[in-house]
């Protein structure tokens, strides 16, 4: 049986998503490219791995067996990589970090300071939202993740290292800027420029409004905090963002934080990894660095 690691990787992506399209997205391949790899794998094995029923695909018995073995191979390779990273030590290892979109506003500063201290380290940073971080943790992809509240339903080892206050923002000349302790109900008919579903910020804001029985009307949806700030500044609506995203806009007085009852919504930043994951020396050093020194490098705007 002649099969390649690449074919196994493609097969595992199709099998875990039960979708050729989704697997192609995850692997950054074309869908015909994915189908081709699966066809080659099936012909090397001599058995079909998937069956098509209507629009859905399912694993055949051979597919299920193969999935178990492909996971075993992938764990072995991960383990081999961990062991090799350990041998390289802190000075020349690799570090793969995934962070929530909002955390990218300060993570780059942390990585800069860390890589100055450990010059030989190669760092890769993936910036994505909460839902996607959850998937990555499930697949045990990153060494470490920085996000708001750790995800439910996955066992992780997490520690908190900093506050993450969410504030309501308006253009600097907005009539509510001078008002004190504005009741939340005042915003019942307001349409907010919001982050996408799946963002931690969006979820926390929705929960905060629900807790006060105030309807939260969402207007335009955006996947970037930068875009939200620009939209608010342009008068497209009010926004709610982490204070970490605001340093420049507050300094230049282009945006103002409104003094709203029950605000800021208090969240915290966590650094975490899958439970039982063996951290490489570089990953351990980075985690320790974040827990002990993050506050030195990140100032919250006043
Ligand atoms: P977000 O995450 O960028 O996905 O909103 C931040 C958070 O979890 O608070």
Per-residue pLDDT 10s for the chain (302 aa) are 799 999 999 999 999 999 999 999 999 999 999 999 999 999 999 999 999 998 899 999 999 999 999 999 988 888 888 778 777 777 778 899 999 999 998 999 999 999 999 888 999 999 998 889 999 998 888 999 999 989 988 999 999 999 999 999 999 999 999 999 999 999 998 989 999 998 999 999 999 999 999 999 999 999 999 999 999 999 999 999 999 999 888 888 899 999 999 999 999 999 999 998 889 889 999 999 999 998 887 877 76
pLDDT at 252: 85
- Matching CATH topology for 5-88 and 92-161+268-297? no
Backbone angles phi, psi at 25, to 5 degrees: -65, -50
Ligand 1 lining (C-beta closer than 6 Å) = 100-102, 129-130, 147-148, 164, 195, 199-201, 267
For residue 198, which atom of ligand 1 is closest to its CA?
A: 4
User: Would you list the domain boundaries of the chain?
Assistant: 5-88, 92-161+268-297, 165-267
Please state, in angstroms and rounded to a whole number, the distance separating the CA atoms of residues 32 and 139.
24
pLDDT at 302: 66
Q: What is the CA(209)–ligand 1 centre distance, in A?
A: 17
In this structure, the number of other CB atoms found within 10 A of the CB of residue 237 comes to: 18
For residue 202, which atom of ligand 1 is closest to its CA?
A: 5
SS3 of the chain: CCCCHHHHHHHHHHHHHCCHHHHHHHHCCCHHHHHHHHHHHHHHHCCCCEEEECCEEEECHHHHHHHHHHHHHHHHHHHHHHHHHHHHHHHHCEEEEEEEHHHHHHHHHHHHHHHHHCCCCEEEEEEECHHHHHHHHHCCCCCEEEECCCCCCCCEEEEEEEEEEEEEEEECCCCCCCCCCECHHHHCCCEEEEECCCCHHHHHHHHHHHHCCCCCEEEEEECCHHHHHHHHHCCCCEEEEEHHHCHHHHHCCCEEECCECCCCEEEEEEEEEECCCCCCHHHHHHHHHHHHHHHHHCCCCC
Q: What is the CA(26)–ligand 1 centre distance, in A?
A: 21
Q: How far apart are the first and last CA of the chain?
A: 64
pLDDT at 216: 95
The CATH number of domain 92-161+268-297, selected from 3.40.50.1370, 3.40.190.10, 3.40.50.1820, 1.10.1060.10: 3.40.190.10
CA atoms within 13 A on the CB side of 272: 25
Q: What is the CA(195)–ligand 1 centre distance, in A?
A: 9
Cβ atoms of 107 and 98 closer than 8 Å:
no
Q: What is the CA(256)–ligand 1 centre distance, in A?
A: 21
Candidate of 201, 244, 264, 271 to mutate for ligand 1, largest count of ligand atoms within 8 Å of Cβ: 201
Cβ atoms of 262 and 246 closer than 8 Å:
no
pLDDT at 140: 86
β-bridge mates for residue 58, sequence order: 51
pLDDT at 75: 87
CATH class for the region spanning 165-267: alpha beta
| Nearest protein Cα to ligand 1, atom 2 | 200
pLDDT at 222: 96
Q: What is the CA(126)–ligand 1 centre distance, in A?
A: 14
For residue 164, which atom of ligand 1 is closest to its CA?
A: 9
Token pair of 276 as six digits: 């039982």
β-bridge mates for residue 171, sequence order: 255
pLDDT at 255: 95
Task: Look up the CATH number of domain 5-88.
Answer: 1.10.10.10
Candidate of 98, 134, 147, 207 to mutate for ligand 1, largest count of ligand atoms within 8 Å of Cβ: 147
User: Which pLDDT tens digit goes with each residue over 62-106?
Assistant: 999 999 999 999 888 888 887 787 777 777 788 999 999 999 989
For residue 195, which atom of ligand 1 is closest to its CA?
A: 5
pLDDT at 276: 87
pLDDT at 120: 86
């Amino acid at each position: 049986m002649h099969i390649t690691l690449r074919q196994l990787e493609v097969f595992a992506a199709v099998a875990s998503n039960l979708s050729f399209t989704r697997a192609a997205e995850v692997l950054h391949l074309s869908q015909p490219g994915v189908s081709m790899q699966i066809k080659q794998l099936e012909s090397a094995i001599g058995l079909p791995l998937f069956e098509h029923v209507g629009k859905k695909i399912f694993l055949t018995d051979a597919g299920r067996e193969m999935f178990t073995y492909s996971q075993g191979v992938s764990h072995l390779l991960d383990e081999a990589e961990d062991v090799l990273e350990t041998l390289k030590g802190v000075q020349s290892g690799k570090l793969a970090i995934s962070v929530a979109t909002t955390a990218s506003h300060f993570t780059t500063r942390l990585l800069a300071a860390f890589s100055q201290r450990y010059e030989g380290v190669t760092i890769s940073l993936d910036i994505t939202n909460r839902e996607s971080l959850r998937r990555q943790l499930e697949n045990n992809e990153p060494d470490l993740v920085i996000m708001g509240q750790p995800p439910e339903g996955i066992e992780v080892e997490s520690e908190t290292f900093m506050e993450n206050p969410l504030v309501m923002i308006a253009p600097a000349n907005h009539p509510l800027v001078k008002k004190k302790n504005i009741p939340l109900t005042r915003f019942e008919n307001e349409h907010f420029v919001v982050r996408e579903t799946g963002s931690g910020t969006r979820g926390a804001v929705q929960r905060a409004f629900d807790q006060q029985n105030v309807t939260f009307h969402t207007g335009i949806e955006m996947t970037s905090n930068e875009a939200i700030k620009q939209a608010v500044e342009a008068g497209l609506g009010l926004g709610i963002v982490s204070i970490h995203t605001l340093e420049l806009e507050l300094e230049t007085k282009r945006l103002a934080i409104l003094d709203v009852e029950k605000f800021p919504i208090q969240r915290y930043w966590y650094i975490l990894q899958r439970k039982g994951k063996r951290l490489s020396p570089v990953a351990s050093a980075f985690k320790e660095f974040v827990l002990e020194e993050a506050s030195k490098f990140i100032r919250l705007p006043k």
